[in-house]
């Protein structure tokens, strides 16, 4: 009897323990789901907070003391205007002008490269070519600014002067060309190089999605390869290419450092490409004026940053809306009409394409009315068509060469210019006690420490939030309206100008901790905003390719959703998540504009992330470049080591070399891990 009682007691204790364990598991499951949901909706709150805090900090520019506003704006403009909209209007014009010019240069080159990769490049080399083009996107903007200011500017004067002499009767090219040509035209070239990878990447993927049926139908009717592209591929991808162009526009609108380091600023509304001191952009003006601005001046500049945020948000929002229109959704009727026309064209050229598709085929393709021009084409001269095909092939190949030349030039000049000071001393000393061009020449130790600490702080903020947001998108909200909204805004968020992120972080800390609060952690907050979209997107993609069988097997054994995600899904996707994090780090480690505002400039080493200014590598490059030639106070004397007037440029190039090595290593590692993990998961 006693034994039975003990058994019953042990059984009841076991049952109670199991029930308690089950309750804990349910609570943990609910808490994990709530945390994921919170992180998902955090993106909505973050975008709203950017606008709200910029508005709060910029309000004095609209409703503050009228005399103070007029005095501040008058000081910014040299007394030309004394009201906000008179101040910002030329900046909006300059921003739009440089971005549109860059887009006009970049679009044809980008489309040519995308067509080369999709239809002309041998398959075994297409990945290599894509990686080479993607390297253009990996190079930090401060390095483009350095290259543009020291290499491109001296190189383009001859061409600009020649064009102004021949076409000077056109206001756009009216001369004489400025020397040095720190003009809108030079800036547009650099911005075009920077946006080419964006447009190329999106266009390439769209071109590869063109239904094979349409391509084969056009070729079967006797079209050349270029005619097939013109009649089938380009109409199919038209809306996507427009979206890619708008994404490039958003990138160009928010560019700061390249414009700041190349353009000679002005306050005009001139369209002239070859004259300096005519225009200025919002982002470059903020970066140039912010360090010396008083409290009202900061408010005015933050208000202009709010204007830039609204403009870029609208552009990126429109781009994502267009991109959301998937090809092939215009209905079966138009495709049937198209195929009927193609059959009619085939009869005209004694070619048969009857019954080439079924209803299921029709639903997977898009309509391209332009292909009815095949009938006209078949009546054209074969020789003329062949010449056109060859000419377009040459132009497409030239597009690739035009894009690769700047990449080679940038890499070569960074390496050749950076070798001079790239030594152990340079890597292990800071700029404390450095005077002019005299020895000791200084180094980048403080900048490397600052870069590592600020980037590490950004990682601690963005990685948990980014991973949990991607978990919520994939595991909890898939197919729901909130998923669509958050996913859409993540894409829009990826287009936020970096300087706006810096202004947001500065505004938040100045409101809560007092005006002028600048330290490494403020910089970390700014960088985390720029990291989040990359972390979320790459993690989401890796979670999506985890086989559902693994989840279902765990659920079948009674494992909770949270435990399944934590113990099975995330470990399986871990290599891809690591890859996404590395690519996000590579994305922000070269950012300059937000850190110039949020972390500041310092010559000594500061290891405290939460107190005092902190130098970073990209800011170091800009700071050395902006100071120009060093002074040699003992000129004419034999000094050992000698005074080096060019020492600042040498330090800038050497720091750029260190920065680009870091970025390229991170990019290569990230892409290799992505490729390996995708193969392992069977994608």
The answer on 408 and 529 residing in a single domain is no
Within a domain: residue 58?
Answer: no
pLDDT greater at residue 640 or residue 296: 296
Q: What count of Cα atoms within 13 Å lies in the side-chain half-sphere of residue 96?
A: 12
The answer on 264 and 146 residing in a single domain is yes
Residue 329's pLDDT band (boundaries 50, 70, 90)?
very low
CA distance 38 to 468: 9
Q: What percentage of the chain reaches a pLDDT higher than 90?
A: 41
The answer on 309 and 171 residing in a single domain is yes
Residue 25's pLDDT band (boundaries 50, 70, 90)?
confident
Quick one: pLDDT at residue 354?
Answer: 37
Q: Is 371 helix (H, G, I), strand (E, B) or coil?
A: helix
CA distance 169 to 22: 83
The answer on 199 and 140 residing in a single domain is yes
Question: CA 36, 41, 45, 47 torsion: positive or negative?
Answer: positive
Question: What backbone torsions phi and psi does residue 294 show, to the nearest 5 degrees?
Answer: -85, -170
Instruction: Indicate the burial class of 637 (C-beta count within 10 angstroms; 0-12, 13-18, 19 or more).
Output: exposed
Token readout for 680 is 């392992």
Quick one: pLDDT at residue 618?
Answer: 95
Quick one: pLDDT at residue 13?
Answer: 52
Please name the residues in contact with 65: beta carbons below 8 A apart, sequence gap of 6 or more: 296
The answer on 449 and 357 residing in a single domain is no
Give how far the C-alpha of residue 168 lies from the chain's centroid of Cα atoms, to the nearest Å. 36
Give whole-number Cα distances, 228 to 9, 219, 223, 374, 599, in Å: 81, 6, 6, 9, 53
Quick one: pLDDT at residue 371?
Answer: 46
Within a domain: residue 57?
Answer: no
The answer on 437 and 349 residing in a single domain is no
Within a domain: residue 48?
Answer: no
As a 3-state breakdown, the chain gives helix, strand, coil percent values, each rounded to 5, of: 75, 0, 25
Alpha helix ranges (H) inside 168-220? 184-208, 212-220
Q: What is the CATH number of the domain that holds 203?
A: 1.10.3720.10
Within a domain: residue 670?
Answer: yes
Within a domain: residue 75?
Answer: no
User: Once rounded to an integer, what is the mean pLDDT over residues 168-196?
Assistant: 90
Instruction: Tell me the pLDDT tens digit for each residue of 494-525.
Output: 888 999 999 999 999 999 998 889 999 999 99
Question: CA 309, 313, 314, 319 torsion: positive or negative?
Answer: positive
Instruction: Tell me the pLDDT tens digit for each residue of 29-50.
Output: 888 889 988 998 998 899 889 9
- Which letter, b or e, does each residue of 499-535 get, where b requires 16 or more Cβ atoms within 10 Å of its Cβ? bbbbbbbbbbbbeeeeeebbbbbbbbbbbbbbbbbbb
Number of helices followed by number of strands (H, E) in the chain: 29, 0
Residue 373's pLDDT band (boundaries 50, 70, 90)?
low
Q: What percentage of the chain reaches a pLDDT higher than 70?
A: 87
Residue 370 has pLDDT above 50, yes or no: no
Quick one: pLDDT at residue 638?
Answer: 58
Within a domain: residue 658?
Answer: yes
Query: Is pTM beyond 0.95 here?
Result: no
Residue 348's pLDDT band (boundaries 50, 70, 90)?
very low
- Rounded to the nearest integer, the mean pLDDT of the chain is 84
Q: Give one DSSP letter per residue of 8-28, joined into a string.
A: HHHHHHHHHHHHHHHHHHHHH
Instruction: Tell me the pLDDT tens digit for each residue of 195-212.
Output: 999 899 888 888 888 888
User: Once rounded to an integer, what is the mean pLDDT over residues 139-167?
Assistant: 92
Quick one: pLDDT at residue 366?
Answer: 44
CA distance 101 to 190: 11
The answer on 501 and 413 residing in a single domain is no
Largest CA distance in the chain: 114
The answer on 453 and 515 residing in a single domain is yes
Instruction: Tell me the pLDDT tens digit for each residue of 521-548.
Output: 999 999 999 999 989 988 888 888 888 8
The answer on 428 and 409 residing in a single domain is no
C-beta pairs of 23-26 under 8 Å, 24+ apart in sequence: 25/560, 25/563, 26/560
The answer on 363 and 215 residing in a single domain is no
Q: Give the total number of structural domains in the chain.
A: 3
Token readout for 245 is 């162009």
User: Once rounded to an integer, what is the mean pLDDT over residues 337-360?
Assistant: 43
CA distance 229 to 215: 8
Give whole-number Cα distances, 181 to 157, 186, 406, in Å: 6, 7, 18
Quick one: pLDDT at residue 5?
Answer: 58
Which range marks the domain in which residue 314 is found? Answer: 88-326+398-421
User: Once rounded to an integer, what is the mean pLDDT over residues 53-61?
Assistant: 90
The answer on 277 and 187 residing in a single domain is yes
The answer on 207 and 167 residing in a single domain is yes
Give how far the C-alpha of residue 547 lies from the chain's centroid of Cα atoms, to the nearest Å. 30
Q: Give one DSSP letter per residue of 373-439, joined into a string.
A: GHHHHHTS-HHHHHHHHHHHHHHHHHHHHHHHHHHHHHHHHHHHHHGGG-SHHHHH--STT--TTPS
Within a domain: residue 267?
Answer: yes
Least confident of 14-23, 338-347, 420-429, 462-471: 338-347
Quick one: pLDDT at residue 215?
Answer: 82
Within a domain: residue 249?
Answer: yes
Least confident of 3-7, 312-316, 561-565: 3-7
């Amino acid at each position: 009897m006693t034994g039975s009682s003990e058994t019953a007691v042990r059984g009841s204790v076991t049952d109670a323990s199991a029930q308690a364990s089950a309750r804990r598991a349910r609570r943990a499951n609910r808490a994990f789901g709530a945390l994921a949901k919170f992180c998902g909706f955090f993106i909505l709150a973050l975008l709203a907070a950017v606008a709200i805090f910029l508005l709060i900090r910029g309000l004095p520019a609209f409703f503050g003391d009228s005399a103070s506003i007029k005095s501040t704006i008058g000081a910014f403009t040299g007394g030309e205007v004394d009201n906000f909209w008179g101040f910002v209007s030329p900046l909006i014009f300059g921003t739009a002008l440089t971005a549109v010019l860059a887009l006009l240069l970049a679009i044809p080159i980008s489309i040519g490269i995308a067509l080369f990769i999709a239809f002309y490049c041998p398959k075994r080399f297409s990945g290599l070519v894509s990686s080479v083009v993607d390297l253009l996107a990996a190079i930090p903007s401060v390095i483009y600014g350095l290259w543009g200011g020291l290499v491109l500017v001296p190189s383009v004067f001859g061409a600009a002067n020649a064009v102004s002499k021949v076409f000077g009767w056109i206001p756009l090219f009216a001369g004489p060309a400025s020397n040095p040509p720190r003009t809108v035209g030079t800036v547009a070239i650099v911005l075009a190089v920077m946006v080419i990878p964006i447009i190329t990447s999106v266009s390439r993927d769209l071109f590869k999605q063109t239904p094979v049926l349409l391509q084969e139908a056009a070729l079967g009717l006797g079209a050349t390869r270029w005619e097939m592209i013109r009649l089938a591929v380009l109409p199919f991808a038209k809306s996507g290419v427009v979206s890619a162009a708008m994404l490039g526009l958003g990138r160009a609108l928010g560019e700061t450092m390249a414009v700041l380091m190349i353009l000679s600023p002005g306050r005009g509304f001139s369209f002239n490409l070859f004259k300096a001191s005519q225009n200025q952009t919002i982002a470059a003006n903020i970066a140039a004026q912010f360090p010396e601005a008083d409290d009202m001046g900061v408010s005015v500049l933050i208000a202009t940053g709010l204007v830039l945020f609204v403009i870029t948000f609208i552009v990126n929002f429109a781009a994502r809306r267009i991109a959301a229109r998937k090809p092939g959704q215009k209905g079966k009727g138009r495709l049937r009409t198209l195929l009927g026309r193609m059959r009619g064209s085939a009869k005209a050229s004694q070619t048969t394409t009857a019954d080439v598709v079924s209803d299921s085929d029709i639903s997977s393709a898009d309509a391209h009315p332009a292909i009815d021009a095949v009938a006209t084409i078949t009546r054209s001269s074969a020789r003329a068509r062949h010449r056109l095909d060859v000419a377009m092939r040459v132009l497409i190949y030239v597009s690739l060469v035009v894009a690769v030349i700047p990449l080679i030039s940038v890499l070569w000049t960074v390496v050749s210019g950076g070798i001079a000071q790239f030594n152990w001393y340079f890597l292990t000393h800071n700029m404390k006690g450095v005077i002019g061009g005299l020895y000791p020449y200084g180094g980048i130790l403080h900048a490397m420490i600052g870069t590592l600490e600020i980037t590490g702080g950004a990682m601690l903020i963005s990685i948990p939030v980014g991973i949990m947001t991607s978990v919520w998108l994939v595991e909890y909200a898939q197919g729901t309206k909130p998923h669509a909204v958050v996913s859409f805004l993540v894409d829009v968020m990826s287009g936020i100008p970096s300087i706006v992120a810096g202004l947001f972080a500065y505004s938040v800390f100045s409101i809560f901790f007092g005006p002028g609060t600048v330290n490494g952690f403020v910089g970390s907050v700014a960088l985390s905003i720029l990291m989040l979209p990359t972390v979320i997107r790459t993690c989401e993609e890796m979670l999506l390719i985890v086989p559902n069988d693994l989840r279902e097997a765990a659920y079948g054994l009674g494992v909770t959703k949270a435990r399944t995600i934590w113990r099975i899904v995330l470990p399986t996707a871990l290599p891809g998540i690591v890859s996404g994090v590395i690519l996000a780090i590579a994305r922000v480690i070269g950012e300059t504009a937000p850190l110039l505002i949020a972390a500041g400039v310092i010559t000594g080493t500061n290891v405290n992330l939460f107190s005092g200014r902190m130098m970073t590598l990209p800011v170091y490059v800009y700071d050395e470049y902006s100071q120009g030639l060093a002074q040699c106070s003992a000129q004419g004397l034999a000094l050992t080591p000698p005074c080096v007037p060019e020492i600042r440029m040498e330090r800038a190039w050497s720091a750029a070399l260190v920065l680009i090595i870091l970025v390229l290593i991170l990019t290569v590692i990230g892409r290799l891990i992505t490729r390996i993990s995708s193969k392992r998961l069977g994608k």
